[in-house]
Amino acid sequence: MEPFEELTSLDKLVHEPARLAIMTALAACERADFLYLQRITGLTKGNLSGHISRLEKGELLTVEKDFDGKIPRTTLALTEKGRETIVAYWEQMERLREAVDRWRPGEAPA
């Protein structure tokens, strides 16, 4: 498959910028709470909440709600599948970048 065709078929669940930021941050943090994640990604609460729901539905992360004394706290962490997915994503991007650099037209381009 041409590298360009692989680009068009990137996993959109992970590729979307906000979710890419969330997944990547969680890969670096192991676990993080909702508000910390909001700070480092710069997303609004509503936006972050929505993306978390989508990632949870895709089984890429888990949501754990508990209390720190009396204040509620939501802690996020990648699932095993989530970790594999985000690692694979970055490896794929790196691989594609190199493949594209090496690529030469196979048939008359114009």
- Interface residue with its own copies among 13, 14, 24, 61 (CB under 8 A) is 24
- Which of the choices DNA, its own copies, none does residue 57 contact, using the CB cut-off of 5 to 8 A by kind? none
Nearest to 19 by CA among 49, 92, 65, 30: 49
Whose tokens are 């599948």? That residue is: 81
- Which of the choices its own copies, DNA, none does residue 85 contact, using the CB cut-off of 5 to 8 A by kind? none
- Which of the choices its own copies, DNA, none does residue 88 contact, using the CB cut-off of 5 to 8 A by kind? none
Q: How far apart are alpha carbons 27 and 42 in whole angstroms?
A: 17
26 CA to centre of own chain: 9
Q: How far apart are alpha carbons 94 and 101 in whole angstroms?
A: 11
The residues of the shown chain that bind its own copies, judged by CB under 8 A, are: 1-5, 7-10, 12, 15, 17-18, 20-22, 24-25, 27-33, 36, 39-43, 75, 90, 93-94, 97, 100, 103-105, 107-110
